[in-house]
Amino acid sequence: MSAPADKNPAGQNPEHRPDAATPAETKDTPAITDAPATPPAADPATADGNRAGFVALIGAPNAGKSTLVNALVGAKVSIVTHKVQTTRAIVRGIFMDEGSQVILVDTPGIFDPRRRLDRAMVKTAWSSAYDADHVCLLIDARRGIDAANAAILEELTSVRMPKTLILTKIDLVDPPTLLKLAEDANKVTAFGDTFMISAQEGSGVADIRRHLAAVVPAGPWLYPEDQISDIPMRQLAAEITREQLTLRLHDELPYSATVETETWKTLRDGSARIEQAIFVEREGQKKIVIGEKGATIRAISMAARQQIASMSGAPVHLFLFVKVRPRWTDDPERYREMGLDYSK
C-alpha cells in the first residue's frame, strides 16, 4: 500500500513508496473550536507532539552517506563499499527518536554525469534534495572542497530547505583543517548547523540523531514505528549480492554489473529459495564473475547468502545466474528495477 499524498508533506514521489510500507495510523484529534482569545491551538495533526519528515543525505560519491544512514538506523539498510558510485537508487532508512520519525533518504553520489546511468543517478539525488524537508550535505573531510564538492555547494544555494553540513571521516584528518573547511563551505551555502563525524568510529552520530529528530516538521508518523527501511527484501537481497560483487571484483568489473532478485520462494521448512541474476555486459565479464572453476561466484554467493539469511531471519538457498546483457545500461527495464528514471 502506498502512502496517500496528503501524508506526504515532503512531496516525495509516492511511486517510490514500498509495497510493504503502510503509513502509521494517525489519531483523530478534536477539531479546533472557536476560541479566539486563547493562543493558537497546536496543529491538529501534531497535538500529540509527534514529528516526522524526510531528510536527504547528499554528497559526492564515497562521502560516507550510506555509512551514516546505517549508523543512524542502527542496521544495514544501504550497502557500503570503498568504491565510488555504490548507491545507485534511493534507499530510505528510518529511525525513531523520542516522538520523531526521521526518514533518511540515502542518495547516489553527485558528480559530473556522462553516461545514461550516471545521469539517472545524479538526477535522482538532486530531486531527493529538492523534495526533502531538510537536506544534509556530506563532505569527506579528507577531500575538502574539490571541484565536485564546489559544484554541489553552488547548486545547493538554490535548494530552499534548511540545510546541515556534515564533515565526514574526521578520523582521517587533523582537527585544524576541519574548522577551515566548515568555514569555506558556509561561505558558499549558508548551513543552519555544521557537524563533524566519524561514522566509522561512531563519534558525532548521536548528536546528528538528536539534531535531525528536532528539525523534522511536526506531524504524524508516516511509517509503522518498527519499520527501519522501505526497501523491499528482494531488492535489499540483490543489493547485498551487488555489494559482495563490488567488494571482490572492484578492479576487474568497474560498474558494469547489476543484480536482480528473480524469484524468492518460501519453502515448507521455512527456508527461502532465492534466485538472482547478475547482469554483465560482456562474455569476458561473465568469466570474471564466475572465476576459476566457479570459485569467485561461490565466494560471492556464500557471503551474500549469510547476510541475506541473517537479515531475513530464515535459512537461505541462494542461486546466482550470470547473464550477459550487452548495453544493459541502456535498457529501461533495468532502470525500473532500480527505481531510477530512464531518460534520454
Ligand X SMILES: Nc1nc2c(ncn2[C@@H]2O[C@H](COP(=O)(O)OP(=O)(O)OP(=O)(O)O)[C@@H](O)[C@H]2O)c(=O)[nH]1
Q: Site residues (CB under 6 A) for ligand X?
A: 59, 61-67, 80-82, 84-87, 108-109, 168-169, 171-172, 198-200
Identify which range of 62-70, 113-121, 178-186, 328-336 contacts Mg ion by CB under 5 A.
62-70
Closest C-alpha to 14, from 272, 230, 302: 230
Work out whether 66 is an interface residue with Mg ion (CB under 5 A): yes
**Toward Mg ion, which CB reaches closer, 86 or 244?**
86
Three-state DSSP state, 148:
helix
Work out whether 70 is an interface residue with Mg ion (CB under 5 A): no
- Nearest approach in angstroms of CB 317 to ligand X is 29
Work out whether 235 is an interface residue with Mg ion (CB under 5 A): no
Work out whether 229 is an interface residue with Mg ion (CB under 5 A): no
**Toward Mg ion, which CB reaches closer, 110 or 318?**
110
DSSP code string of 29-98: -PPPPS-TTSPPPPPGGGTT--EEEEEEEEESTTSSHHHHHHHHHTS--S---SSSS---S-EEEEEEET
**Toward ligand X, which CB reaches closer, 84 or 96?**
84
- Nearest approach in angstroms of CB 87 to Mg ion is 3
Closest residue to ligand X, judged by C-beta, is 109
- Nearest approach in angstroms of CB 62 to ligand X is 5
Work out whether 86 is an interface residue with Mg ion (CB under 5 A): yes
**Toward ligand X, which CB reaches closer, 87 or 285?**
87
**Toward Mg ion, which CB reaches closer, 86 or 296?**
86
Side-chain half-sphere CA neighbours of 167 within 13 A: 26
The DSSP letter of residue 25 is: P
Identify which range of 81-89, 123-131, 154-162, 179-187 contacts Mg ion by CB under 5 A.
81-89
- Per residue, the 3-state secondary structure of 228-286, as one string, reads CECCCHHHHHHHHHHHHHHHHCCCCCCCCCEEEEEEEEECCCCCEEEEEEEEECCHHHH
Sketch the per residue contact string, 21 through 60, with Mg ion: x for CB under 5 A, - otherwise: ----------------------------------------
**What CA–CA distance (Å, rounded) separates 204 from 170?**
10
50 binds, among ligand X, Mg ion, none (CB under 5 to 8 A by kind): none
**Toward ligand X, which CB reaches closer, 150 or 314?**
150
* CA distances for 151 relative to 105, 111, 159, 188, angstroms: 21, 9, 13, 10
**Toward Mg ion, which CB reaches closer, 100 or 241?**
241
Contact assessment for residue 54 and residue 12, using Cβ atoms and an 8 Å cutoff: yes
Closest C-alpha to 179, from 161, 167, 191: 167
**What CA–CA distance (Å, rounded) separates 106 from 228?**
13
**Toward ligand X, which CB reaches closer, 169 or 305?**
169
How far, rounded to the nearest angstrom, does the alpha carbon of residue 165 sit from its chain's CA centroid?
17
Cα torsion angle, 240, 258, 111, 134, sign: negative
- Nearest approach in angstroms of CB 88 to ligand X is 8
296 contacts: CB under 8 Å, gap ≥ 6: 248, 249, 288, 289, 290
Work out whether 168 is an interface residue with Mg ion (CB under 5 A): no
85 binds, among Mg ion, ligand X, none (CB under 5 to 8 A by kind): ligand X
- Nearest approach in angstroms of CB 295 to ligand X is 24
Site residues for Mg ion per CB under 5 A: 65-66, 86-87
